[in-house]
Structure formats: C-alpha cells, structure tokens
A and B are shown apart, each in its own frame.
Chain A
Amino acid sequence: MVDINLSEAEKRYIIDGVKLGIRADGRGPLDYRELELETGVLDTANGSARVRLHRTDILVTVKMELEPPLPGRPNHGKLLFFVNCSANAAPEFEGRGGEELASRLSSVLERLYSDANAFNTAGLVVVPGKYVKAFYVDVEVLECGGNLFDVVSLGVKSALYATRTPRITITGEDGGELEFTLSDNPYDVDRLDVTNAPILITHLRISEGITIVDPTIEEEQCAPVSVVVGVAPNATICAVHLLGPGTIGPHTLKKALKGSAVLGAEIHARLIAKLKQEESIPDRRIRGFLG
C-alpha cells in the first residue's frame, strides 16, 4: 500500500521478533493498538464517524437520498460505498495512485454488506417499487499508517450506527408525483440496524503458521501477503479476501480464521458498548479536528 523502504536488517529484526513472540513495539501477535473513535463529527451528513488507529485516520460519512430501487429489487433499499484515498494520506496516492486501493476497499465493503444477514436493506423502502432509501457511505482516508482495512470497516460500522434520518411520511399525491414531508423533530428519526454488521480483521502472514493482526506500516513492508477476514458479531466468518501477491498455507489460513472469529466477537462487543456510551453522554461536545 504505502511504501517506505526498510533496510534488510530492520526487516530481519521485525520478522525475528514476531517469530519470538514479541513485536517491535512490544505487542503480541494478536494485540491491537488503541483505537480512537468519535461519531457525529459532521453536521451535513446523516451519520459520520472519525476513527484513528495510531497514524491511520479515517473519516466516514453516510448520506441518505430517496431513489428508485434497483430493477429486480423493488423492496430493497441501497447501500453504496465510495472510498477516496486522497494524496494527503500518502504521496503515492497523488493523481490516480490511490484509485486501485480505493476501488479494492469499496468492493470489499460492498461484498461484506451485500448479504441480508449482514445488513438488511428490506426495511428501507418508502414506496415499494418507486422510492427506496439509498445510503451513500463515503470513506475518506485522511492518513494512511497501516492496517487500513480494519479501521475502515470499524469506521463504516460506527458511522452507520450513528446515522439518523428524518422520518418520512407521504402526505398526498399531486399529478402522479408523491408528496413527502420530513419530520422537523430532531428526535423523530429512523436509525439503521447494525447489530449484524461485520468488521474486517487483517492477518499479515509473516511466515507459515505465524500471522499478526493490526500490523504497523513497517511490519506491512516485511511480508507480501495478508488475508482480510470479515467477522460478524456472532463470531461467524462472512468474508475472506487475499491481499497482495503470495500464498497462505491451509494450516495458516485456518489458524487465522479461528483467531479472527474470537477476536472479532470481542471487538464487536467493545465497539457497540463504546458507541452506546458515547450516545448516552448528555450534550456531548464534538471534538472534531481541532480538539
């Protein structure tokens, strides 16, 4: 993803460390760093979240539009992902440099959320066959400091959790065109159900049988291949995506999947607990980008 040139000796140091069970910053193979989270950072979006993990910084916004449904799915809403890797995040993203990574990220997210068990779009209908709610999820990568997939998935889930759309009522019909009223009451809102929304956990394969989660940008330079695992809150695996050139043995993959299931369930529980806690703070001051 982002290239920094490490010397052979530095790589050696990192790889040896992982094999000995102590990473360069003292973590174990399945330890995450501290994640900083804030929702509701943007007033102009229906839902937004900013997530920071060390130096990776992600801003996710969710905006709702009323649109005709997709042909063949008249009773389903839409959930669309768009990822932008700006040149601010890394110089490599300048021009069209970030496009490949961005489209890969958005396709992984789209697939992750496409299943009805992960995110149910059936409830997002206003007028069946005519108007459904379309949710545009925009992910802006502000800074890229490793472990992008995990942070993006956590950001998306948080932003969807924080999404509030005004309640829509159909008031009448005027020459075939329907008339809508949106509720002015800030508490009369619809929310999205994210209880089953999955997250991603990236395992970087250091050597056969040894994978690490939450790699730093230096660690990412030491191994070519990682496997991105989608985990639902009930600890089931719902997506597997191979990243980078290289191979992963079946034994290693199995171990990574098993590890992700346990870890994923734990992270889900913590994330939801924290989001609930944030919600319960009365008159919460938004810290945003200047705090």
Chain B
Amino acid sequence: MEIILASECPPQETLMAPTASSHTRLVTPGEVIYEDTSYMRGHGTYMEDGCQVASVAGYVSQVNRLVTVTPLRQLYQGAVGDTIVGRVTQVGGGRWKLDINSRLDAELKLVNVQLPGAEQRRKNVEDERGMRDLLSEGALVCVEVQKVGQDGVLRLAARTNKFGKLGQGMLVSMSPSLLVRDKQRMHDLPCGARVVFGANGYIFLGPTCDQEQGLSYTDSDEEVGVEVRESLARLSNCLRALAKHSVMISPTSIMAAHDASIQLNIPVKDLLKGDVMRDIAIATLQDIADT
C-alpha cells in the first residue's frame, strides 16, 4: 500500500492554459451579468430587478443580444439525437426507467425498442411480461434521445441494432461537459476495446465484438481474455486520470493517454497513483498540442 501525505501532493491546478480569449468572463450563481434589460435572457441566466443574473457558474457567451452562461460542470441536460449510456433502475408499465446522470430518470418505452429478431411488429402483452428478460434492473443500455418531454423527462429509443444492451465490460462516469461533442459515439479502438462515449458522461468500455449484427439482448458467456482486460483496465485508468485533470475526453485524447502510458512503461495498476495520473494528463496534452 502506498500512503501519501496531503502536504506532499501538489495542489489542484489547471494543466491547460485557458484557450478562451481575454474577454471571456467567468461568473458565479447570483452574479449580475448586465445591468441592462435590452439583452435577451438565455440559458443559465434570469432577470431580477432589471438586471440579468447568472444562475449557474460558468462562462458568459453572447450571440448578438442573446446572453447565455455555459456551465463548467453540470448534470446531463439532454438533446435530441444524443447517443447515451444508461442503467435500468425500474421495469414496469411497458417502459424502463433509466439512470442517465441527469436530474430525472429517463424513460425507454418498449414500443421504442427494436426487439431481437429485427422484425417490425406491434408489441403485445407477452412482450410486456417478458420485459425483464430483455433488460432487468441494473442492466446497461446504449440508447438514443428521441424527445425531450414537456415535463423534462427524456424519452429514449433503441430503434436500430446499433443500440441495445451492453455486455461485459465496465462503466466509467464523469461530468458530461468533459466529453468532446462527436457524431460518432461508438469506437473500436486499435487496442482491442470497444468504447461507447455516452453524451451523458457515462463511458462504457468493453471488448470488441467482431460480429456485424451489433448489440443484442442476450448476455455472452464468453470469458474476456487477459490481454483485452489489461488494455481495458489501462483505458479506464487513463480516462479517470484525464477526467481528474479536466482534459477533454475524445477517442484521440484517450488513445494518446493510452499510448503515452505504454511508452512511459507504466504498469496498469500504477495509473491509479496521483502523480502518475498527472504525468499522463500532461503527456496527453503535450501529444495533442504537437499534432
């Protein structure tokens, strides 16, 4: 066991020089942005006594007269079309409730799920009874946001075989603002890992599946090999290291971190140490800056 003293570990600092230009303004909740009513009230702001006030901590951004505050850390807000990873919390009533790192649990209706067998047909009572066989409590699923409901609950869908139940592997969760926005959310990395970057900050790491049919609803009993496990562990530890130092997460940055850790000859378990995590984050930033 390694024991470190709090006085030994370096203070938390940002590794990156702020890239934003000098006129970017950081505000805290309750801070007055403009004492002027001529600006339009955007997300993260509210009006009080003729002043525009920030409701979240973040950067002020302005498009013409529209003023918004982009929060630094937040729960997942949800946008139509996002690919996200969720965990089933409740089953019943023809729908699953999913924890998606948001304020409210999201809803996945049975009607919006493409059943195994791929045929398009009406779902009957039998299907509703067998819902737990498809996805039981605790199951991880990869789904798409179909609609943001009036009440703020996200309605999800798994209409194609791209979406569905996630098999063996592990979940790493982080703030959704750390993820780079990307059209492609599922990546087969060259080190033998399949990574699903859920837009909600849930990242799923599993072994690559060679079959073409995509995700199914049955668990595979196949044992994952040691080599694949090692690279999955390395990736997950790299992810945590990057997230800890607020480095933006993308397939490029993860691969850079992964390769840097191999290049520096760091054993997988050493990546859990604070100073090594920092080294990896710095090396990754360096690597991204160079290319």
* Interface, chain A (partner B; CB < 8 A): 5-10, 12-14, 16-17, 20-28, 31-38, 50, 54, 214, 218, 263, 266-267, 270-271, 274, 277-278, 281, 284-285, 287, 291
Contacts and interface: CB of A to CB of B under 8 A. Distances in A.
B269 to A, nearest CB: 5
B132 interface: no
Contacts of B2: 32, 34-35, 270
A10 B170 contact: yes
B272 A25 contact: yes
Contacts of B219: 8-9, 12
B273 interface: yes
Given A10-B168, A12-B219, A32-B1, A281 B272 contact: no
B237 interface: yes
B230 A26 contact: yes
Given A13-B169, A20-B229, A270 B3 contact: yes
B267 A13 contact: no
Nearest to B240: A25
Contacts of A34: 1-4, 272-274
A27 B1 CA distance: 12
Contacts of A287: 6-7
A262 to B, nearest CB: 12
Contacts of A12: 168, 219, 221
B60 to A, nearest CB: 26
Given A7-B138, A22-B229, A34-B273, A271 B7 contact: no
B261 to A, nearest CB: 11
A200 to B, nearest CB: 13
Contacts of B236: 24-25
Contacts of A14: 170
Contact of A285 (B7, B139, B229, B267): B7
Contacts of A266: 1
Contact of A50 (B3, B6, B232, B233): B6
B254 interface: no
17 contacts: A5-B89, A5-B137, A7-B136, A7-B166, A9-B166, A9-B169, A10-B169, A10-B170, A20-B223, A24-B170, A24-B229, A26-B230, A27-B272, A31-B269, A34-B1, A36-B5, A37-B4
Given A16-B223, A36-B274, A263-B1, 8 more contacts: A17-B229, A20-B226, A25-B269, A26-B269, A35-B4, A36-B3, A37-B4, A287-B7
Given A7-B140, A22-B226, A35 B171 contact: no
Contacts, number: 129
A38 B140 contact: no
A37 B4 CA distance: 6
Interface string B147-163: 00000000000000000
Interface string B88-125: 11000000000000000000000000000000000000
Contacts of A20: 223, 226, 229
Contacts of A263: 1
B224 interface: yes
B1 A278 contact: no
Nearest to B232: A24
A214 B267 CA distance: 19
Given A10-B169, A31-B269, A26 B234 contact: yes
A20 B229 CA distance: 10
A202 to B, nearest CB: 13
Given A5-B138, A26-B267, A35 B169 contact: no
A94 B52 CA distance: 37
A285 B6 CA distance: 10
B1 A270 contact: yes
Nearest to B87: A5
A22 to B, nearest CB: 5
A214 B1 CA distance: 10
Contact of B233 (A5, A22, A291): A22
A13 B5 contact: no
Interface in B1-46: 1-7, 9, 11-12
Contact of A10 (B171, B237, B272): B171
B271 interface: yes
Contacts of B137: 5
Interface in B120-145: 136-140
Interface in B223-258: 223-224, 226, 229-230, 232-234, 236-237
B170 A13 contact: yes
B167 interface: yes
Interface in B253-291: 267-269, 271-274
Q: Give the top 8 A-B pairs by smallest Cβ distance, nearest first.
A: A26-B268, A5-B138, A38-B6, A26-B233, A32-B1, A13-B168, A287-B6, A7-B139
Contacts of B273: 34
A285 B8 CA distance: 11
Contacts of A271: 3
B6 A25 contact: no
Contacts of A16: 168, 223-224
Most buried by B among A7, A13, A37, A267: A7
A211 to B, nearest CB: 16
B140 A274 contact: no
Contacts of B268: 25-26
Nearest to B236: A25
